[in-house]
Every structure is written in C-alpha cells, then in structure tokens.
Amino acid sequence: MMNTSIHDGTGDSMSGHRNPLPAAVKICGLQDVEVLKSMINLPVDYIGVVFAKSRRRIKPEQAAALRTVLFEWSAYERPKLAGVFVNPTLEELEHIMEVAHLDVIQLHGQETAEFCQQVKQRWNAKVFKAFSFPKDETGPEADDAAIRALDAYDKFVDAILLDTYDPLYGGGSGKTFAWERIPAYADWVNSHGISLFVAGGLQPDNVQQLIQTYAPFGVDVSSGVETEGVKDIAKITAFVERVKQA
C-alpha cells in the first residue's frame, strides 16, 4: 500500500513522528516518459525532477509531460511531483510552477528561512529543505550548530532532507553520509511536526538497514537505481519493494 499519510491534505499529514506505515519513496532524477510509464504499478510516493545544474536536469516542458503520466498510476493516489532546485530566484520558480505545476518545491542550496517562507506563502506546494553533509564530517559540535540553525525554518518547511554534500551539485553524490548523525535531526523534526527524508548513496542493498535502524519518514534515491547513468526499472522495483517491506 502507498504511504498515504503524506497525501491526505490535513494539518497532521506531514507529521515528523515515527511513521507506522512503510516509509515514503521518492525516485529522483526522472527524465524519460517511457521510464516513468514502466513504474506505474509501483507504490511510489514522489517523483523527483531536477532543475538545478546536473546531468539529470530537465526543462519545465519535460516536467509537465512527466506530470501527465502520474495520473495514469495504478495506485489510488498518484505520486506527487517534486522539483529540485539549488538557490533559485522567485522568478525562476514562477516560470517553472506555471508550466510544470509542481506539488513539492525541494530546495537544495543555501536558501534562507526567509526565502522558504516566501516560497511557502506564494505557492500551494510543499516545501522540502535539504541539508547536505560532507562525507567524512562527524562530531556533535557540527550537528549542534546545524540543528540550532534549523529553528529558523520551523513553520516554513514541510520536510527536511538529509543528503551527502557534493561540491559541484550540492547533493546527488551517490555517496552515504555518517548515518549515526540522523537521530539528532530526527529528534528535531519530531518536536516540530516536520517529516524527515534521507538521501545519499541509497540503493536496494542498504535501504532496509537504514529504515530498520533509523526509521525516517521517507527515503530519496537517484543514482542508486541507475545503470550506467540511466534509470533501471529492475533496480527501481527492487528498491521500492525493499522499502515497503522494511
């Protein structure tokens, strides 16, 4: 069954408390309509499209074409369309929202809480804010400072996404970060009624371990379900099945 608690439109639908249902799945970096059509029988919660600098970057018109496929989904609730941005302007978002009608605006750069507030007030879309960690960075001091900074984002974001930092693109590195850092952020989202998603190096072979150990609300994957840089339906299917069985 698809994770419906994030879709029901109520004030508690994005609650950060431990999720009794299977974790939400976000498959990111979709570019091809035919690949998306091959996924319509899978219980996927979010489809991600990239508008930031990336080899997976697409145009708003391509995103609009992908969106039409979501209404063919066999599950009773279609996946939500999430657009990934790095430090966009409001004008850029305006154009893309007019064309692609995103359900989620995911901000993956150094966007301020004030910017997130503007986005939240301007469009009828969920706002996800990503925070990326250097692969080898550890230590409670770094987390304490980062978590204190999160307080400014309360009420302006619907979810926090933890990812591994990539010096070129910000995220999407295909590498894991130190998962032992997750609980401190989980405590923060739980106390603020915000959902926690985890990305960074996830693949069919490690996603169950992540979910069983840390119970994030959702998981986000891109390169972990690709073969030679192309989305692989067999890997996507395996990933989704293992998430929903965890």
Q: Is residue 200 part of a domain?
A: yes
Contact assessment for residue 155 and residue 198, using Cβ atoms and an 8 Å cutoff: no
Residue 7 domain flag: no
Per-residue pLDDT tens over the stretch 33-51: 999 999 999 999 999 999 9
pLDDT of amino acid 161: 97
Q: What are phi and psi of 66, to 5 degrees?
A: -65, -40
Domain-located, residue 3: no
- How many CB atoms lie under 10 A from the CB of residue 147? 15
**Which pLDDT score, from 0 to 100, does residue 9 have?**
34
Residue 209, domain CATH = 3.20.20.70
pTM: 0.88
pLDDT computed for residue 175 by the predictor: 79
Whether residue 13 lies inside any domain: the answer is no
Report yes or no on 8 lying in a domain: no
Q: Does some domain include residue 14? A: no
Q: How many domains does the chain have?
A: 1
Output the six-digit token pair for 68.
């039409």
pLDDT at 90 over 90: yes
Residue-wise pLDDT tens digits, 169-224: 545 556 788 899 999 999 999 999 999 999 999 999 999 999 999 999 999 999 99
Residue 4 lies in a domain: no
Q: Which residues contact 10 (CB under 8 A, 6 or more apart)?
A: none
Mean pLDDT along residues 124-141: 78
| Residue 17 pLDDT greater than 50, yes or no | no
Q: Is residue 37 part of a domain?
A: yes
Residue with tokens 């879709």: 7
What range does the domain containing 214 cover? Answer: 22-245
